[in-house]
Amino acid sequence: MTEWMPLILFLGVGLVLLAGYPVAFSLAGVSLLFAVVGEWFGLFDPAFLEALPNRLYGIMINETLVAVPLFVFMGVMLERSRVAENLLDTMASLFGSLRGGLGISVTIVGMLLAASTGIVGATVVTMGLLSLPTMLKRGYDPGVSTGTICAAGTLGQIIPPSIILVLLGDVLSSAYQQAQLNMGVWNPDSVSVGDLFFGALLPGLLLVVLYIGYLVLLAWLKPAKVPAMPAADRQVGTGLWMQVVKVLLPPLALIVAVLGSILAGVATPTEAASVGAVGAMLLAATRRQLNLATLREVVRQTTLVTSMVFLIFIGAALFSLVFRGFGGDEVVSELLHNLPGGVVSAVAIVMLVMFLLGFILDFIEITFVVVPIVGPILLQMGLDPVWLGVMIALNLQTSFLTPPFGFALFYLRGVAPPEVKTSDIYRGVAPFIAIQVFMLGVLALWPSLATWFPKYIYGS
């Protein structure tokens, strides 16, 4: 009976989540219930729960996690400062003369917003509200329009500074050290958030290139689906280039300040996040969008998101302790080690499970619940932690795009006009899902795509 308890616990949490209960309370409540029942029948040692105060204290003093509210503040402040609207108008004028140019503009703006905010839901909703009506008005195919917006909006998963990379960096660091201790390495190396930032940079930019390449190919094969904008609807001449400099320079400067400070070694990711938060306020001030009411709303939204993240962290810590108390880590380890095909099969199974969980759980829950369980086991098999982190982020990005449950599809469906059918959204994201799967395959075959840049930067 004992060996089945971890699976029953996991299924119990899943059923409670499907019933609509909040994630943090589901994780904590179901775990406590199983702990009480397990102790009653002599299947669970309550001593495991004695580690919970230390876990919570570790969360409270973790300096890396301070970056979370700072990056959230930065993203929400930029959302309020109309950066997306100005960028989209300018990029549309710049590329509008080309077939597919509006789609390319949406992709580039999505990339810049991803690098500025790192919040997927906000990016998809913002891009949907601003660009979808314009694309449909200009004669774009509804599927191409919605697919481009969803794909561009999810770039916040992989392009730094991404919230998921901050959280993954912290969780993978603990998993990596635990894996090394299990292997008898008493002076373990660590992996930082900066490692993941630079590891994800090249795959993220390559993904943007592939998105744009698909739109260019579509414009060549089926030009009617992605028509050019009429000259009367776009700005031309010297004024356009002045506008490009005026609109692009501030967000680019902010991105360079955040990532450049980490790259130069003058700031940790947490310190760089504070630079981003202050920079976002200055950017909002220059656009005359910063006032007491805006600041109050941004702080309120930041508090809500941050509270949700840390409450899930607490629930996940309790779940992890109870799961280990039932021997779940040993069951998972034995399962993955005994798979035919070794480490390749283990990675494939874990990625498939995470992909499917991405239909019902947000990346925060998956990062806090699943990664601490499977991370140490996979890293003991000799995998590079940076490569594994980038693969997880890219895999979850793919999951959030995949019908019928992808989160990005729900975000866009909520703001799309009634004439856009759900089937249009599903049809539109299909080519981008294929690109995502291709990118996962490329990264699996050439791990150096994720590991080369951090090693070059840090000289190791």
Mean pLDDT value across the chain:
83
Average pLDDT over residues 448-454: 90
pLDDT (tens digit per residue) in 121-165? 667 877 788 788 888 888 889 999 999 999 988 887 888 877 788
Interhelix angle 422-445/448-458, rounded to 10 degrees, is: 60
List, for residues 293-317, the tens digit of each pLDDT value: 888 988 998 888 888 878 888 888 8
**If you average pLDDT over residues 434-447, what whole number do you get?**
94
Query: Does residue 8 form part of some domain?
Result: no
Inter-residue contact 374 to 343 (CB < 8 Å)? no
Confidence class of residue 441 from pLDDT cuts 50, 70 and 90? very high
Closest by alpha carbon to 201, among 460, 458, 451, 432?
451
**Number of domains into which the chain is organized:** 1
Q: What pLDDT is stored for residue 231 in this prediction?
A: 64
Report the pLDDT averaged over residues 364-386: 86
**Residue 352 lies inside a defined structural domain of this protein:** yes
In a 3-state reduction of DSSP, which class is residue 146? helix
| pTM, entire model | 0.84
Residue 318 structure tokens: 């309790």
Question: Does pLDDT of 13 surpass 80?
Answer: yes
Q: Which of 136, 80, 83, 143 is nearest to 114 (CA)?
A: 83
Answer whether residue 278 is part of any domain: yes
d(CA 364, CA 316): 10
Residue 285 is which amino acid? A
**Tens-place pLDDT, residues 360-370:** 777 777 888 88
Confidence check: pLDDT of 235 > 70: no
Q: Mean pLDDT, to the nearest integer, of 413-434? A: 88
Calpha distance 436→33 (Å, rounded): 39
- Residues 118 and 258: their CA atoms lie apart, in Å, by 12
Evaluate if residue 460 carries a pLDDT over 60: no
Average pLDDT over residues 377-390: 90
Predicted confidence band of residue 450 (pLDDT cuts 50, 70, 90): very high
For residue 427, is it within any domain? yes
Residue with tokens 């299924």: 11
Range of the domain at 412: 65-458
Residue 277 lies inside a defined structural domain of this protein: yes
Is residue 344 in a domain?
Answer: yes
Residue 210's nearest CA partner among 8, 397, 409, 70 is 397
Minimum mean pLDDT range among 113-127, 147-161, 331-345, 399-413? 113-127
Task: Looking at mean pLDDT, say which of 134-143, 179-188, 426-435 comes out highest.
Answer: 426-435
pLDDT band (50, 70, 90) for residue 59: confident
pLDDT (average), residues 316-334: 83
Residue 243 is predicted with a pLDDT of 76
Q: pLDDT value at position 457?
A: 76
Please tell me the predicted confidence (pLDDT) of residue 154. Answer: 86
57 in a structural domain: no
pLDDT at 214 over 60: yes
Does 226 map to a domain? yes
Q: So what's the pLDDT on residue 217?
A: 93
Give 232's pLDDT tier (boundaries 50, 70, 90): low
